[in-house]
Structure 1
Amino acid sequence: MAISESVGWMIGVLLSVFASWVGAASKLVIRKSWKLIEGVEETHLSYPGLFARSRFLHSLGLLGMTVLNPACGIGAMKFANPSLLAPFSGLTLVWVVLFSKATTGEEPTSVQIIAATTIVLGEIIVTIFGDHSNEDELSLDRFNDIYRSPKMVGYFIGFGVFYIAVTLGCKSPIPAVEKFCWGVSGGSIAGLLLFIKDSLSLFKSESPWHWQIWLFLSGAMFVGLYGIRCLSFCMKRYDTTYSATMFVVSYIFSADIMSLIRYDIYKNMESTAQKVLFPVGMIILLGGVAILMTEKIPGFCSRTVGACSRDDAKPLLDGEVGLGRTEGTRDERRSLSDDEGVNSKL
């Protein structure tokens, strides 16, 4: 039995909510896998056991992000427009804030809790006033007209230039540039995954052997897996809150720019209230994300222990000494603190 458009978008939203939970759980598990072996020397007696647990948790997190989360996301796109679904990735941050203390020991602050509440409010507004239309079938001629149009060709060229800059920035000698580029490297390319909806719509209405279908499906698999790889390496370097926040905000921006160019969502909005309150909801949502992006958990390192030799690094925890760590680390921390004090005066 066919599901009506008025009900279908609700199913899509519910699947997106579940996908955000799976995504958050996967990110926390991956971060936990890195934290298990932070500061533990390979020669320490506990290292083999911790390393085995770390690999298991890392594999479990990757399974959630490469299989379960995309499956829910693809299922959601069958029922709703990507412009409506993309902002729900912001809920990932809410789950991260709620469960980070129990899983990774990174306790959220009151500011982060307020930010999570702001994100939920923005999600509610976006859900109510977003574009509820759904283009479920797509002809081959229509598909070719869309992706050969100057605006779509220009979009892909512009994104290619942007991502080359991001990739180079991940190796920048400037710590702030390096951190920013690692943060946006995963989400910005994973946002292209939403193009999979058009390939699935084409698959439904045309022969499954068209090369365009398999090109887009293969591309969607690549950008999804590559985005997860970038996120995993980002979480190896930075805390869960920063990594997840940057991934989500870059994903939302990437997906929304695509939606504006590809779906022309404002033409599908019938009322003035939709056209006004949808961007308001997005601003509120991104405002909550921005708070999380700038708020840091007191006492936690913005980089991994192994990276704390960098001038921009801070100790993992005040007064904490990891297993197998030498006493010289404390002197290094004092030196870093002194450097920070000098920099603040300058």
Structure 2
Amino acid sequence: MTADRLADGRPGTAELRIGVLGCADIARRRMLPALAARPGIRVAAVASRAREKAKSFAMQFGCDADDDYERLLARPDLDAVYIPLPTGLHALWTARALEAGKHVLVEKSATGTLAEAQDVVALARERGLALMENFAFVHHSQHATAKQRLLYGEIGELRVLQASFGIPPRPPGDIRYRRELGGGALLDVGAYPLRAALMYLGDGVQVIGAVLRVGSNQEVDTAGSVLLASPDGVTAELSFGFEHGYRSHCALWGTEGRLVLDQPFTPPTTARPILRLSRQDHVQQFVLDADDQFGNTAASFAGLSQGPATVREEQYTRILRQAALLSTVRDTARVLRSS
């Protein structure tokens, strides 16, 4: 029994038992090892429609295997579910998990549309369950360091956020190119710089303009750029796509200098990120501590699941604001088609 179900409402120390819907690469490489390593969390079962894949995952993480999602959700020994399925399936299985009384950690983007986000958040709120979108990078300490230096005025007043995240083209047939599975660069890599803009500029940012590019022989967007602005006039220049050499970058440009992070989104657990502070002709470089953003995410989700329902409201708001931004970009963007 998890702590939020205790009769007197006191925080508890019960084990959080998690089931997994889907066997995506991100689950095997990053999230499941982090969940399995976290004290107080047990990965209890994994389900895949490909039973052999589920058995392979189960062997690696010492848990049960199943080939039926509904059967996994019906298990009474599970408190929560992690969902690394394709984006187009997130809303359906998030809703079914919540209806089954499970807390949910769902990969980004949490849903494909704003309406879907509103539906699952309403359901989580009604059932008093945790619902968290898995943007692991926001839990890395390098961003807390950057925000602290920004707060201390080390670059003066913030004027522009520049963020980009791009990866090389995927193999033909990759799920990122399948419209029916929620494919496209915006919902995949584009979600990262948009989430960074919310983190640094606040919830008041609005979409000023956007471009989405559809690659040749593709049915989904494969790249894009977005311009945002906050109520006080700070702008965010964002770019993303599947048509690029790899790039993960975030810069905060102020009246007196710049702060630059070269690994803002997917730093390895052992990496010591570099933060550069530039003012006039003076440049300082700081080697920050290594941090495990997936381990921190696991801890955050456990706390969210086992704490009082009131702490979950912030996550509901984050999901809705992110979904609203994505929806506005998609609805207002000028679409360019590659020849």
TM-score category by the smaller chain? Answer: under 0.3
Is the strand fraction higher in 1 or 2? 2
Is the helix fraction higher in 1 or 2? 1
Q: Report the TM-score, using the length of structure 2 for normalisation.
A: 0.24
